[in-house]
């Protein structure tokens, strides 16, 4: 299909970068990576912050600067304002302000639009930083989704846009009224609108952009809460199971994606089960001893553990801790969308961050206090020790250790702030630009072109084909910045 669509590489692509309060160094980094894209493009900086410094940056880099009178519908409204009043190009690349685009992004995605049914081509949302447990855990979750889940959804014509690293056919967006105008999760609702009109969303499993993951408890919570609200909103008010304009497999896939955010209930059950069992003196099996029970279930536990190791080559403890914490944003989103309770919003400042973290961690602090109290009661004989409950004692002890480590990290990693800078690489056998030009000539995607001077963008050696492998991801010197201001 790329060979058939190579003629599309002559078309100009609009690159939209929506910003509000991001650090200018982050924005500059993204714009410079956009300017280094190979192919015809027009870059638009969409500033909902309306800051003179941002406008000056746009002028300095030679990109178009667009603002509007208000911030209605946030990112969705910002994008639609540009699409309806400024963008003339037929294809639109949307990238968040904290991502660096690979120079080959347009070359790899645009030919896929040879199929007129393709409305969007989504590429993975890959993170590069690992400075904190939140960054490491988020990186693992993204790897899991884009390595296994999104490719499977693509096979069922159920892949969905994630709001960044995606290129749209503008005509298709115009037919569905543009980006779905919501305060959050406009990406998945836009996907549904496109599918309802007979279009397809294609997932290209290639690393063509690298970004920054949440690095603190607050930024991780904000991200997960926003995603969960969008999923639960669709589950409650726009349930795809009853959407006759979708194919049966699409209905099921989107339902399962949204139903996932109810998994916070299972985390609560997991945490309180050993506590209740110990307090109520409930044995795992009432008619069997521990040593009778163990051989029966040893195979199951070993298999389950090996399966976990196979899918988490790195950051196993971090992924477990964030998985246990996820019930907080998921349950808060549930209370907001299903029960109509107040929305959880705040403006983060250094002076308030500790208080906000304590508020978010309050369920875990209570859990830790109760667990330590039970341990004390067992040690002093206030609670009777029961050998039949040894499984629950071990279960509770492991959970207490994990929660305690998580609490320490959550408080210690609140002020790690840095600015992403893509450094010019010092040593190359061949420049990145030369490699890309050679690759294009080999694949006959575009005619041979003069090799431009190397730009300060993605390091040589990044993978352009095949499935995602985070361990082989291009090494970008992107320190981490807290993204509360953005979220």
Tell which of 382, 412, 442 closes a domain. Answer: 412
Q: How many domains does the chain have?
A: 2
Strands 166-169 and 118-122: antiparallel
| 16, 156: one domain | yes
| 203, 292: one domain | no
Furthest-apart CA atoms within the chain: distance in Å: 81
Active site residues: 48, 187
| 268, 154: one domain | no
| 194, 267: one domain | no
| 189, 287: one domain | no
- Asked if the structure places residue 225 within a domain, the reply is no
Which residues, 6 or more positions from 41, have their beta carbon under 8 angstroms from its beta carbon?
Answer: 12, 13, 14, 15, 34, 93, 106
Which ranges of 166-263 would DSSP assign to H, the alpha helix? 170-175, 186-196, 217-237, 248-259
pLDDT recorded at residue 304: 75
Range of the domain at 150: 6-210
| 270, 200: one domain | no
| 193, 289: one domain | no
| 24, 130: one domain | yes
- Asked if the structure places residue 461 within a domain, the reply is no
> For residue 134, what is the domain's CATH number?
3.90.550.10
DSSP string, 133-149: HHHHHHHHHHHHIIIII
- Asked if the structure places residue 238 within a domain, the reply is no
| 203, 61: one domain | yes
| 201, 277: one domain | no
- 3-class SS of residue 201: strand
- Asked if the structure places residue 474 within a domain, the reply is no
Tell which of 369, 385, 412 closes a domain. Answer: 412
| Residue pair 208/102 in contact by the 8 Å Cβ criterion | yes
Q: Of the candidates 103, 211, 13, 201, which has an alpha carbon nearest to the alpha carbon of residue 460? A: 103
pTM: 0.80
| 188, 289: one domain | no
- Asked if the structure places residue 340 within a domain, the reply is yes
| 39, 127: one domain | yes
- Asked if the structure places residue 34 within a domain, the reply is yes
Tell which of 380, 412, 444 closes a domain. Answer: 412
What does the pLDDT profile of the chain (487 residues) look like in tens digits?
566 677 888 899 999 999 998 999 999 999 999 999 999 999 999 999 999 999 999 999 999 999 999 999 999 999 999 999 999 999 999 999 999 999 999 999 999 999 999 999 999 999 988 888 898 888 888 988 999 999 999 999 999 999 999 999 999 999 999 999 988 889 999 999 999 999 999 999 999 999 999 988 998 999 999 999 999 999 988 899 999 999 999 999 999 999 999 988 999 999 999 999 999 988 766 666 667 777 777 777 778 777 766 766 665 677 788 888 988 999 999 988 887 776 655 444 444 566 788 889 999 999 999 999 999 999 999 999 988 788 899 999 999 999 999 999 888 865 444 433 333 333 223 333 333 334 334 333 333 333 333 333 444 344 433 333 434 433 333 333 334 334 4
Strands 200-203 and 99-101: unpaired
- Asked if the structure places residue 1 within a domain, the reply is no
DSSP string, 270-339: HHHHHHHHHHHT--SSTTS-HHHHHHHHHHHHHHHHHHHHHH-SS-HHHHHHHHHHTHHHHHHHHHHHTS
pLDDT recorded at residue 445: 37
- Asked if the structure places residue 312 within a domain, the reply is yes
């Amino acid at each position: 299909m790329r060979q058939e669509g190579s003629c599309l590489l002559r078309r100009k692509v609009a690159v939209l970068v929506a910003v509000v309060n991001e650090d200018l160094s982050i924005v500059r980094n993204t714009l410079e990576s956009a300017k280094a894209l190979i192919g015809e493009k027009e870059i638009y900086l969409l500033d909902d912050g309306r800051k003179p410094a941002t406008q000056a940056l746009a002028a300095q880099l030679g990109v178009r600067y667009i603002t509007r009178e208000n911030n209605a519908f946030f990112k969705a409204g910002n994008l639609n304002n540009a699409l309806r009043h400024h963008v003339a190009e037929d294809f639109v690349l949307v990238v968040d302000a904290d991502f660096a685009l690979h120079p080959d992004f347009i070359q790899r995605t645009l030919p896929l639009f040879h199929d007129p049914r393709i409305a969007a081509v989504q590429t993975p949302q890959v993170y590069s930083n690992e400075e904190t447990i939140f960054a490491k855990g988020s990186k693992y979750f993204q790897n899991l989704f884009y390595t296994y889940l999104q490719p499977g959804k693509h096979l069922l014509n159920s892949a969905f846009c994630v709001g960044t690293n995606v290129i749209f056919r503008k005509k298709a967006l115009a037919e569905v009224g543009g980006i779905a105008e919501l305060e959050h999760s406009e990406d998945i609702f836009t996907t549904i609108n496109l599918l309802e009109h007979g279009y397809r969303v294609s997932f290209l499993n290639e690393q063509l952009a690298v970004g920054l993951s949440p690095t603190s408890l607050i930024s991780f919570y904000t991200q997960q809460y926003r995603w969960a609200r969008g999923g639960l909103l669709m589950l409650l008010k726009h349930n795809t199971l009853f959407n006759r304009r979708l194919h049966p497999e699409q209905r099921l896939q989107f339902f399962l994606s949204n139903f996932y955010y109810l998994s916070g209930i299972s985390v609560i059950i997991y945490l309180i089960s050993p506590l209740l069992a110990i307090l109520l003196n409930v044995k795992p099996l009432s008619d069997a001893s521990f040593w009778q029970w163990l051989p029966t279930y040893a195979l199951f536990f070993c298999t389950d553990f090996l399966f976990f190791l196979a899918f988490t080559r790195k950051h196993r403890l971090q992924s477990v801790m964030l998985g246990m914490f996820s019930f907080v944003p998921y349950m808060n989103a549930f209370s907001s969308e299903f029960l109509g309770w107040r929305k959880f919003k705040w403006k983060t400042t250094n002076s308030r961050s500790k208080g906000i973290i304590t508020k978010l961690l309050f369920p875990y602090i209570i859990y830790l206090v109760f667990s330590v109290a039970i341990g004390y009661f067992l040690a002093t004989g206030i609670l009777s020790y029961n050998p039949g409950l040894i499984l629950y004692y071990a279960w509770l002890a492991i959970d207490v250790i994990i929660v305690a480590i998580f609490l320490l990290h959550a408080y210690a990693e609140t002020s790690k702030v840095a600015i992403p800078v893509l450094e010019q690489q010092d040593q190359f056998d061949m420049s990145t630009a030369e490699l890309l030009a050679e690759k294009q000539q080999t694949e006959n995607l575009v005619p041979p072109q003069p090799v431009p001077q190397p730009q300060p963008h993605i390091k040589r050696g990044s993978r352009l084909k095949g499935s995602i492998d985070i361990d082989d991801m291009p090494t970008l010197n992107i320190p981490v910045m807290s993204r509360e201001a953005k979220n």
